[in-house]
Structure 1
Amino acid sequence: MRHVGGEGATVRIGFVGSFGTVHEVVQMAVEAEQHGWDGFFTWDGVDLGGAMGDTSFPVWDPWAVLAAAAVRTERITLGALVFAVPRRRPWVLAKQAVTVDHLSGGRLVLPVGLGVPDDRAVAGVRGEAVGVRERAERLDDALALLDRSWRGETFDLDGTHVHVEGMRLLPRPVERPDGRHRIPVWPVAAFPSARSMGRAVRWDGVVPQLRGDRAMDPMTPQDVAEVVAWAREHRDPAAGPFDVVVQGVLPDDPAEAADLVGGLAQAGATWFVDSRWDPQAATPERLLARLRLGPPDLGPLASG
């Protein structure tokens, strides 16, 4: 990981096990480690079938998947793209995260977002926060609780929607190489929203998405460079490493894949995560086939 705009950065390459049976998805984590990937990610949804144009694919609980992956792997980073935090109880989320963090020996990361209203767990459940503003408030409350809970001390929290008295959550996360007991948090941010990006730079990384007509477009090196410049300007340099996590689809051709990731890394991306969201195209067989090709070899860039 690198400081924003730092030299000698390492770019890491991950893969999303987007579709398959629960056994196939866990096997993808194992294969990811075997074939040289740096990270494996699942995802957090309840019922997104209609939104994806297909109601037939299975959806698994991310914490169960990650717990199984944690005990079957030894090296790779684990997480979900992304955890839909506002519809979760923050103290339960904290306990789930610390449990998987310990099972994995400190390899967990927390990409977090508002969740999508297309998920029937939001739009189809009376009383859930549907509006963007309330979901953002609940996300901030939850992140504040996570931060306080990881200190191992009894705490109170008087948030916008979450009010806690006298809570203490043990154990703390696994100690990181820098001595902190902290699971890295990567908020999703709509760039160039100052409010959204402002949340991200208070934490440990950003999963940037473009706004408006380009919301579904892949990030270009120029986009990444602008995100990095914004973060460098607004983040305290003493706050520690900051990841810029870009999603996309890797070409099968090794040279094309290396060019794609290399260009983004030169612009400041510290992670590239191969993310395939079309359930018709991203069959378990195709996902496993791409995993077995391995990540592109970036040569000196990969090692910094």
Structure 2
Amino acid sequence: MRFAVWVPLFDELADPLTVARLAAAAEDAGWDGMFVWDQLGWRAPVTAVADPWIVPAAVAASTERLRIGPMVTPVARRRPVKLLCEATTLDRLSGGRLKLGVGLGSDRFAGEFSRSGEEVDDRVRAGQLDESLEILKAGWTGEPVCHHGKHYTVDSVRFLPRPVAGRIPIWVAGFPGNARPLRRTVRHDGFFPVNLTSPNQLDDVVATVQSLRGSLTGYDITVAVSPSTDVRPYATAGATWCLTDFDPATLRPADVRAVIDAGPAR
């Protein structure tokens, strides 16, 4: 199992230099990754929010080994060709260390879709997500992309340069009891089941993914747990990455630094 620090870019952590310094400390302490939330806003008492692409760029420039990326980005609120270029640029800046977490997002946590004029229908956003992922994967081949879908059009556009490894790993987030995210995720590189309640629930997730894929070789199962959680049952259940989760309402840089300095729970 690999271990990452996963932070919301809120309030004091909306300072990219602060997060970059924390990432450098995490690398020194033996962590494997630094991932960030992708939100436009959050509930009170949170007031300030940083950009989830600029901050990982600062992290990439401050580290040499850590895996980085947004976890997760609600793809439907981004133009797919813009996302393609941003992801490729960040991947190349980091030397191929980007993991791209994607999902539908939700309006229920902070009302950020309805309050900013974005699509709130989950079914529509799901269609936008699937089309966008097709465009990303086609664009990373270096060949001209011809896509004429319900939501997006890309008319014979070639996207260069390519990512360092030729493509970027895509982790799909979703609630573990929903069939559609599971069917979507097996077409990509990993699954991030959100709001897991127990390792037993992860057992069911892993069994379902394996039955759909036929094999879990080279495939990641990511879990998010609080810093005090015993991660061994999750590893036994099949998790390959563990993200250390924090409460955004009370989070301070000193709290993150204390977890980082304690090192990953290997």
Q: Same fold (TM over 0.5)?
A: yes
Structure 2 match to 1:12 = 2
Structure 1 match to 2:45 = 54
Give, in angstroms, the shift of residue 16 of structure 1: 1.3
Residue aligned with 1:116, SS? coil
Give, in angstroms, the shift of residue 240 of structure 1: 5.3
Distance 1:207 1:55 in 2: 25
Give, in angstroms, the shift of residue 236 of structure 1: 4.4
Residue aligned with 1:166, SS? strand
Structure 2 match to 1:198 = 183
TM-score calculated relative to the size of structure 1: 0.82
> Which letter maps to 1:201?
V
- What per-residue deviation string (whole Å, max 9, x for no partner) do you get for residues 190-215 of structure 1? 22322110001110000013xxxxxx
> Which letter maps to 2:207?
A
2:214 paired with 1:220: no
Residues 82-231 of structure 1 mapped to structure 2, 5 A cutoff: 82-118=72-108, 119-126=110-117, 128-175=118-165, 181-209=166-194, 216=195, 218-231=196-209
- What per-residue deviation string (whole Å, max 9, x for no partner) do you get for residues 11-50 of structure 1? 10111132412221121211111111011011111122x2
Structure 1 unpaired stretches of 5+: 1-10, 176-180, 210-215, 252-256, 298-304
Distance 2:150 2:183 in 1: 18
Distance 2:89 2:183 in 1: 29
Structure 1 match to 2:16 = 22
Structure 2 match to 1:262 = 232
Aligned length: 261
> Which letter maps to 1:160?
K
> Which letter maps to 1:123?
S
> Which letter maps to 1:234?
L
Structure 2 match to 1:296 = 265
- What per-residue deviation string (whole Å, max 9, x for no partner) do you get for residues 165-219 of structure 1? 11111011112xxxxx11110011222322110001110000013xxxxxx4x44
Identity in percent: 37
Distance 1:17 1:229 in 2: 29
Give, in angstroms, the shift of residue 294 of structure 1: 0.8
Q: In 2, are the aligned partners of 1:17 and 1:28 still within 8 Å (CA)?
A: no
Structure 1 consecutive aligned stretches of length 4 or more whose deviation exceeds 2 Å:
118-121
| Equivalent of residue 227 in structure 2, options 236, 239, 250 | 250
| Equivalent of residue 232 in structure 1, options 210, 214, 223 | 210
> Which letter maps to 2:70?
A
Distance 2:163 2:121 in 1: 32
Residue aligned with 2:209, SS? helix
Distance 1:279 1:64 in 2: 23
Give, in angstroms, the shift of residue 91 of structure 1: 0.5
Q: In 2, are the aligned partners of 1:16 and 1:276 still within 8 Å (CA)?
A: yes
Distance 1:206 1:62 in 2: 20
Q: In 1, are the aligned partners of 2:64 and 2:94 still within 8 Å (CA)?
A: yes
Structure 2 match to 1:274 = 244
Give, in angstroms, the shift of residue 114 of structure 1: 0.9
Give, in angstroms, the shift of residue 120 of structure 1: 4.8
> Which letter maps to 2:33?
G
Give, in angstroms, the shift of residue 224 of structure 1: 1.3
Q: In 2, are the aligned partners of 1:31 and 1:292 still within 8 Å (CA)?
A: yes
Q: In 2, are the aligned partners of 1:13 and 1:273 still within 8 Å (CA)?
A: yes
Distance 2:232 2:112 in 1: 38
> Which letter maps to 1:293?
A
Structure 2 unpaired stretches of 5+: none
